[in-house]
A and B are shown apart, each in its own frame.
Chain A
Amino acid sequence: MTTTTPSVTSVPLLERFRVPGGFVLGAVLLLGVAPLALSDFRLSLLAKYLCYAIVAVGVSLAWGRGGLMVLGQGVFFGLGGYAMAMHLKLADAAATGETLPDFMQLYGTGDALPWWWKPFANPAFALAMTVLLPMAVAAVLGFFVFQRRVKGAYFAILSQALAAALSIWLIGQQATTGGTNGLTDIQGFFGYDLNDPVNQRMVYFIIAAVLLVLMAIARQLFVSRYGELLIAVRDSEERVRFLGYNPANVKLVAYVVAAGMAGLAGALFVPAVGIISPALIGIVPSIGFVIGAAVGGRASLVGAVLGAIAVAWAQSTLSDAFPAAWTYLQGLLFVVAVGFLPGGLASLGVVLRKRRTRTTPIPTGETA
């Protein structure tokens, strides 16, 4: 967010330090003020919201800048989350001398670990998979989808269908994925006991640091030539093609990066919350991932992140008080944001300023 007040944007010095200043302010708030001011319980809630914010960073890139309506980020969040949870479950089991995670002993058919679980016992492999697996799936999917020029609502529906398919598949595999329950009751995190509040705080710091780093990466993508090209593809794909680019590749990069970020968010969600389950990655949560970005301002990185945190906070506050009403409110927020304020709250200042002073047409210049 802007650290300076909007009215002083004409001062070049402040303008130059706006972005690094904002970054430092964000770091101070997340890494300094929040841990001091918040109780253990509140801080662990914030850690969960920050995971959603990490997803929103990718959404801001793919949807805000690239125009890809990524309504299925739950798939990538889930892949990252399950990759992490599988490793942590295996580590938990190993710590108590078992070979199988607890739920497999209850529901499993035999006493052998499924082959595709085995490599996840290796922490380096599991960590790499939390990011690489979502990116690989996104790369294959995106390649075919963008090459065939599937876009707009069709792309959104396809994304949703995929999120539904993954969660349904997981529910069906009770013996190997924990089914509806998901992977629960996670005790340790690379040797640290998650029941210890100190270690919970450590997890919070990791998540906050990851968020800041990913925001810095996304910011670089936004201001790079690639970022300009991505906007061009969003606004006029055909024109870009006639300039000699293949827009499919441009979109693919944004889609894959966003998927990697969602995967990392899912992976960090697991130690922060202690569970990953189909209900956290299906259609409804997938829509939830983009609502925050839509409300805050999907094309604005800070807007998307703050929006995601605010909506997640509102959800956990309001859904306790009015469990039935929240879903409707969520839908309403989405419709209002997309329909009436496409730039989200981040654009409110600009919209209001435009109201006051209608844009003046510029005089026709001479060609000479």
Chain B
Amino acid sequence: MSGEGLTVRDLRVTFDGFKAVDGVDLDIRPGDLRFLIGPNGAGKTTLVDAVTGLVKATGSVTFGGEELLGKPVHKIARLGIGRTFQTATVFEELTVLQNLDIAAGSGRGPLTLLRRRKGVPESVTKALETTGLTDLRDRPAGVLAHGQKQWLEIGMLLVQDVKLLLLDEPVAGMSHDEREATGALLQRVSEDHTVVVIEHDMDFMRSFARSVSVLHAGKMLSEGTVAEVQADAKVQEVYLGRASEPEPAAVPVPEEA
């Protein structure tokens, strides 16, 4: 399995007359590791919100042949689309293992739910290994370091058996080493999943992106490989600041409102 592709056509999201997403088309091939970049307010997070059912949108979003718009959040999740948020949300009072076990269990019947967990599901063991959290599995998630929480969230998506991962700024606030580790993790994950990453960090994007989409003011500005996008004059103008050699890491970017 190499994930499923996502097709977005003429997606529009409006908040009180403000067009947060204004007619976006997007094609993500199965197995892609796509970076979604753009200035603050470009509509990146809103796009993900629309795809996952959190905000109302018009247009069309299909995944594996199914129309997603109009479906409730939990049904979209069951189709195999998982996401993370800008701030890591794990269940702080539960252990790493319990977090992963819950993520693995949305298909469980009542009888399984009413019984105590015996042993560790195979998918959970695998996700613990992939994310490097095996030694911490009995720790409450609340005491994990920031980076580890993000990895746990990615691990939760893996055991959830999603085909498409939508990650909202997974490396924000991480140290350099944590970024490298996260990038390596994303590359491993993308071997058998489709991954979409919203990111501000240009260095991180250059190191790990397989393809890039640039959003600006709710519209798709440019798409292609890292080199193609960086060479695009429109992109340089609105986002990379016209400099031939951008230094985005020097500019701290606040979280999107």
Contacts and interface: CB of A to CB of B under 8 A. Distances in A.
Interface in B120-159: 131-133, 135-136, 139, 143-145, 147-148, 151, 156
B113 interface: yes
Interface string B101-112: 111011110001
Contacts of B19: none
Contact of B145 (A225, A228, A359, A362): A362
A242 B113 contact: no
B181 interface: yes
Contacts of A240: 102
A42 interface: no
Contacts of B107: 244
A212 interface: no
A251 B139 CA distance: 26
B98 interface: yes
Interface string A228-246: 1101100110111111111
B44 interface: no
Given A225-B101, A361-B145, A366 B73 contact: no
B3 to A, nearest CB: 17
Contact of A364 (B94, B148, B184, B185): B148
Contacts of A366: 132, 181
A359 to B, nearest CB: 7
Contacts, number: 101
Given A229-B105, A244-B77, A223 B116 contact: yes
B98 A228 contact: yes
A367 B77 contact: no
B136 A365 contact: yes
B113 A229 contact: yes
B160 A238 contact: no
A224 interface: yes
A367 B184 contact: yes
B142 to A, nearest CB: 9
Q: Which of B52, B83, B181 has the most CB of A within 10 A?
A: B181
B90 to A, nearest CB: 8
A231 B90 CA distance: 12
A13 interface: no
A221 interface: yes
Interface in A218-275: 220-221, 223-226, 228-229, 231-232, 235-236, 238-246
Nearest to B103: A243
B14 interface: no
Given A226-B113, A362-B145, A245 B74 contact: yes
A243 B113 contact: no
Q: Which of A235, A242, A368 has the most CB of B within 10 A?
A: A242
A244 B115 contact: no
Contact of B102 (A241, A243, A365, A367): A243
A367 B151 contact: yes
Given A243-B77, A361-B145, A365-B148, A224 B132 contact: no
Contact residue range for chain B? 35 or more
A246 B132 contact: no
Contact of A365 (B116, B135, B156): B135
B227 interface: no
Interface residues of A, number: 29
Contacts of A232: 91, 94, 99, 102
Contacts of A238: 89
B251 interface: no
Nearest to A362: B143
A241 B74 contact: yes
A244 B93 contact: no
Q: Which of B77, B98, B113, B184 has the most CB of A within 10 A?
A: B113
B94 A225 contact: no
A239 B156 CA distance: 11
Contacts of B74: 241-246
Contact of B106 (A224, A243, A362, A368): A243
Contacts of B135: 365
A242 B77 CA distance: 6
A364 B145 contact: yes
A361 B151 CA distance: 17
A242 B52 contact: yes
A225 B91 contact: no
A263 to B, nearest CB: 21
Contacts of A246: 72, 74
Contacts of A239: 89-91
Nearest to A232: B91
Nearest to B156: A243
B78 interface: yes
Contact of B133 (A220, A224, A365): A365
Interface of B: 52, 72-74, 77-78, 82-83, 89-94, 98-99, 101-103, 105-108, 112-117, 131-133, 135-136, 139, 143-145, 147-148, 151, 156, 160, 178, 181-182, 184-185
Q: Which 10 A-B pairs have the closest CB atoms?
A: A244-B106, A367-B132, A244-B77, A367-B181, A226-B113, A244-B78, A232-B91, A239-B89, A241-B73, A364-B145
16 contacts: A224-B114, A225-B112, A225-B116, A231-B93, A232-B94, A232-B102, A239-B89, A239-B90, A239-B91, A243-B106, A243-B160, A244-B74, A246-B72, A367-B181, A367-B182, A367-B184
